[in-house]
Amino acid sequence: MARSITYREALNEALTQEMERDESVIVMGEDNAGGAGAPGEDDAWGGVLGVTKGLYHRFPGRVLDTPISESAFIGAAIGAATAGMRPVAELMFVDFMGVCFDQIYNQAAKFRYMFGGKAVTPVVIRTMYGAGLRAAAQHSQCLYPLFTHIPGLKVVLPATPYDAKGLLTQAIRDNDPVMFFEHKALYDLAGPVPEESYALPFGEANVVREGGDVTIVTLGRMVHTSLEAAERLAADGVQCEVIDLRTTSPLDEDTVLESAEATGRVVVVDEAHPRCSMATDISALVAQKAFGALQAPVEMVTAPHTPVPFSGRLEDLYIPDAQRIVNAVKTVTGWTR
Amino acid sequence: MTDTIERRALTREQLLSAYRMMRSIREFEERVHREFATGEIPGFVHLYAGEEASAVGVCINLDERDAIASTHRGHGHCIAKGVDVGEMMAEIYGRRTGSCHGKGGSMHIADLSKGMLGANGIVGGGPPLICGTALTAKIRGTGGVGVAFFGDGGSNQGTTLESMNLACVWNLPAIFVAENNGYAESTASAWSVAADNIADRAAGFGMPGVIVDGFDFFAVHEAASEAIARAREGGGPTLIEMKFTRYYGHFEGDQQTYRANEVEQARAELDCLKRFAARVTETGELARADLDAVDAEVATMIDKAVNEAKAAPLPGEADLLTDVYVRY
């Protein structure tokens, strides 16, 4: 049995092991060490939530603090990737994509195609997403649908410490640009993680719970909320299959469709806004390719089409909870023509 | 025009090479201008004619360790960094034999094997990328430099200013080359740049800023070689501003009603090729016959490039879906 470590520690371990394995792996971002140029401690922070703590001293010259200047350093990471490095840049909150998006979607994502297959851009952009910390409208968004929409990017959302380590390792070894989404409410989640290095392939969803009555397709933090709902439903005799997509690009269509064919009832649970989202994407996929098997319309459980509110009372209403998932499952099981 | 700069000696081979590159760019652009008018070239093209001394005066100091990033107006930078002229022409014609197999076009010609990170369809897109190649050279200790070319329009983009700051903070071997040709599209740089000179902004980042007559190859070469040598030795970034004008519109088809008739005067009195030829023949470093031979050789090369591009196959249907990812 593997020891139990947190999601944060699992990410740190993946970075450490990959930096040891490959000298071309470098890390950069705001306060990734912390304290640059300041009179106190070096490596003061290790990133705003401590994911890169300890790397600065362990890998001299390979952990770079940056000015608060996302276009410049995200672009620099992309440029360094084209020159043979494997940079892992940290975009502190994905909400800050607005001040560097051009470098990601017009530069990194397009180089390979636009240059006729001659470019390789192995950059990883780690970023925090998601609501739940009362961080309000500009520090709580999901936004992974925006990146999933862009050909040339890969989009990864680990839900557990085990996946965090294995998917980050794969992201660093991968030769395409990877957007790596870390849910800020998961950093302290502990779980079993092997000590040795391992990589989890992209495009392979994880069936985290098997069941024959309803398929719940979800991702990121919502995996845990969905499991909680599935547990409650099992007490009522409804068996849910819970699928963690793990990566939205590439997308494991087969696992989703096989389960949908088997259960005939699908609920998609997504913390992002409801329009042009993974929820609508999966719903369309199932409607188009598993239509004959469906015994009820697909239900979507998502955040509302609003900015993320600050007040805890409102934010708790905003984030999909287990009860809403239970209700959606009951809707699809109770549906009659 | 008299030369006030004590210039470094260039060998006969270097002089011939510089002239060949400048002539190649001019011939390439003049030809694209004529061919575009026939309607055979698709999309947008932005011609570099008039600005040749900048690309060549900078790039003649570079080698395989070095990378450059370019602009909308990128043909000149590509040629100066050694991208194959035939492949470039084929790319502009959207052919499968092009530098990017017809998937990039004029605004995205690139050859990473030559350290050419691409013309760029985004104004200010290149400078952050060059911070990355310069960082790579610094970490690996190659002695390489990165050169970001951008226009007066790009000089006002946040990406460019952020990159200058980052390059100075990280003390990167990066050179910022502002090609101030007087107009960002149709808007005068005298109006849009809130400083007398783009180079004045260097002081705000604590790096050297140099203003150069962009029509004078020797002045460009002098400024660039000094900045590049300093960067290679760990002395950090430099901002160089070229002042000149472009001979054509922002894009082909631009009626240029916003301009006075400065192009006529520039072509007659300031032209970089004319001045180069006058200088080297005056000093006896090259003979008129040497230059004529290059002119003939370049004319043949461009002719061949156009003929081959026109005859080359278009991309196939299967090419639509390839090379989005290395592996998906």
What DSSP letter does each residue of B6-63 carry, written as one string? Answer: -PPP--HHHHHHHHHHHHHHHHHHHHHHHHHHTT-S-S-----TT-HHHHHHHHTT--
From B108, B112, B323, residue closest to A82, measured CB to CB: B112
Q: What is the pLDDT of residues A18-53, one digit of tens each?
A: 999 999 999 999 999 998 999 998 889 999 989 999
Interface mutation vs chain A, best among B87, B320, B323, most A CBs within 10 Å: B323
Shortest Cα distance, chain B CAs vs residue A103, angstroms: 7
Judged by CB atoms closer than 8 Å, whether chains meet at B159 and A82 is answered as no
Shortest Cα distance, chain B CAs vs residue A132, angstroms: 32
Q: What is the pLDDT of residues A68-79, one digit of tens each?
A: 999 999 999 999
Kindly identify which residue of chain A lies nearest to residue B68, measuring between CA atoms: A79
CATH number of the structural domain spanning residue B147? 3.40.50.970
DSSP 8-state code for residue B116: B
Output the DSSP codes for B182-212.
Answer: SEETTEEHHHHSSSS-GGGGHHHHTS-EEEE
Output the DSSP codes for A224-247.
Answer: HHHHHHHHHHHHTTPPEEEEE-SE
Write phi, then psi, for B246 (nearest 5 degrees): -90, 150
- Residue B89 belongs to a domain: yes
- Residue B325 belongs to a domain: no
Q: How many whole angstroms separate alpha carbon A281 and alpha carbon A278? A: 5
Give the CATH superfamily of A4-192: Thiamin diphosphate (ThDP)-binding fold, Pyr/PP domains (3.40.50.970)
Output the DSSP codes for A34-95.
Answer: --TTSSS-TTSSSSTTSTTTTHHHHSTTSEEE--S-HHHHHHHHHHHHHTT-EEEEEEEEGG
- E-assigned strand segments in chain A: 4-6, 25-29, 63-65, 86-93, 124-129, 154-156, 178-183, 190-192, 206-209, 214-218, 240-244, 247-249, 266-270, 299-302
Judged by CB atoms closer than 8 Å, whether chains meet at A76 and B135 is answered as yes
Judged by CB atoms closer than 8 Å, whether chains meet at B132 and A82 is answered as yes
Judged by CB atoms closer than 8 Å, whether chains meet at A115 and B103 is answered as yes
Judged by CB atoms closer than 8 Å, whether chains meet at B99 and A116 is answered as yes
Q: How many whole angstroms separate alpha carbon B142 and alpha carbon B320? A: 37
**Res B191: pLDDT:** 95
**Res B4: pLDDT:** 46
Percent of chain A with pLDDT over 90: 97
Q: Which of A139, A183, A224, A273 is catalytic?
A: A139
From B118, B166, B327, residue closest to A73, measured CB to CB: B166
Dihedral, CA of residue A287, residue A292, residue A296 and residue A297, to nearest 10: 20
**Res A313: pLDDT:** 95
Judged by CB atoms closer than 8 Å, whether chains meet at B104 and A75 is answered as no
Kindly identify which residue of chain A lies nearest to residue B118, measuring between CA atoms: A115
Assess contact for B214 and B242: CB atoms under 8 A: yes
Judged by CB atoms closer than 8 Å, whether chains meet at A75 and B131 is answered as yes
Judged by CB atoms closer than 8 Å, whether chains meet at B166 and A69 is answered as yes
From chain B, pick out residues whose CB is under 8 angstroms from the CB of A87.
Answer: 132
**Res A264: pLDDT:** 98
Whole-Å CA distances, A14 to A9, A132, B67: 9, 25, 31
Kindly identify which residue of chain B lies nearest to residue A102, measuring between CA atoms: B125
Name the average pLDDT for chain A.
97
- Which B residues 209-268 touch A at CB under 8 Å? none
The token duo for A129 is: 């997403």
Q: Helix (H, G, I), strand (E, B), or coil: what is residue A277?
A: coil
Least confident of A119-128, A285-294, B256-265: B256-265
- Which B residues 149-168 touch A at CB under 8 Å? 158-159, 162-163, 165-166
- pTM for the full predicted model: 0.95
Shortest Cα distance, chain B CAs vs residue A17, angstroms: 20
Give catalytic status of residue A139 as yes or no.
yes
The token duo for B194 is: 């809130």
Name the average pLDDT for chain B.
96
Q: What is the pLDDT of residues B61-118, one digit of tens each?
A: 999 999 999 999 999 999 999 999 999 999 999 999 999 999 999 999 999 999 999 9
Q: What is the pLDDT of residues A178-234, one digit of tens each?
A: 999 999 999 999 999 999 999 999 999 999 999 999 999 999 999 999 999 999 999
Judged by CB atoms closer than 8 Å, whether chains meet at B132 and A106 is answered as no
Nearest to A105 by CA among A84, A78, A86: A78
- Which B residues 163-202 touch A at CB under 8 Å? 163, 165-166, 169-170
Amino acid at the residue B204: G
**Res A147: pLDDT:** 98
Beta bridge partners, B238, equal: B175
A206-334, CATH topology level: Rossmann fold (3.40.50)
Instruction: Kindly provide the b/e burial profile for residues A186-218, where b requires at least 16 CB atoms within 10 angstroms of the residue's own CB.
Output: bbebebebeeebebbebbebbebbebebbbbbb
- Residue B66 belongs to a domain: yes
From B100, B135, B166, residue closest to A116, measured CB to CB: B100
Write phi, then psi, for A242 (nearest 5 degrees): -110, 120
Write phi, then psi, for A64 (nearest 5 degrees): -115, 120
How many helices (H) and strands (E) chain A has is answered by: 12, 14
Judged by CB atoms closer than 8 Å, whether chains meet at A176 and B111 is answered as no
Mean pLDDT by 10 residues, chain B (328 residues): 56 97 98 97 96 98 98 98 98 97 96 96 97 98 98 97 98 98 96 96 98 98 98 98 97 94 94 98 97 98 98 96 96
Interface mutation vs chain A, best among B68, B95, B116, B133, most A CBs within 10 Å: B133
- What's the number of domains chain B is made of? 1
Whole-Å CA distances, B158 to A122, B27, B135, B165: 25, 34, 20, 11
Interface mutation vs chain A, best among B64, B65, B166, most A CBs within 10 Å: B166
User: A8 or A43, which is more confident?
Assistant: A8
From chain A, pick out residues whose CB is under 8 angstroms from the CB of B83.
Answer: none
Shortest Cα distance, chain B CAs vs residue A47, angstroms: 19
Domain that holds residue B80: 13-311
Residue B253's CB is within 10 A of a number of other CB atoms, namely: 11
Nearest to B91 by CA among B73, B110, B69, B114: B110
Judged by CB atoms closer than 8 Å, whether chains meet at A76 and B326 is answered as no
The token duo for B27 is: 């011939």
Q: How many whole angstroms separate alpha carbon B170 and alpha carbon B186? A: 35
From A81, A85, A250, residue closest to B328, measured CB to CB: A250
- Residue B328 belongs to a domain: no
Q: How many whole angstroms separate alpha carbon B31 and alpha carbon B15? A: 24
Domain ranges of chain A: 4-192, 206-334
Is residue A67 predicted with pLDDT exceeding 80?
Answer: yes
Judged by CB atoms closer than 8 Å, whether chains meet at B125 and A103 is answered as yes
Judged by CB atoms closer than 8 Å, whether chains meet at A112 and B158 is answered as no
- Residue B290 belongs to a domain: yes
Beta bridge partners, A88, equal: A27, A124
Is residue A254 predicted with pLDDT exceeding 60?
Answer: yes
Q: Check CB contact of B278 with chain A, cutoff 8 Å.
A: no
Residue A143 neighbours by CB under 8 Å, 6+ apart: A94, A95, A97, A129, A272
From chain A, pick out residues whose CB is under 8 angstroms from the CB of B125.
Answer: 102-103, 106-107
From A107, A117, A118, residue closest to B129, measured CB to CB: A107
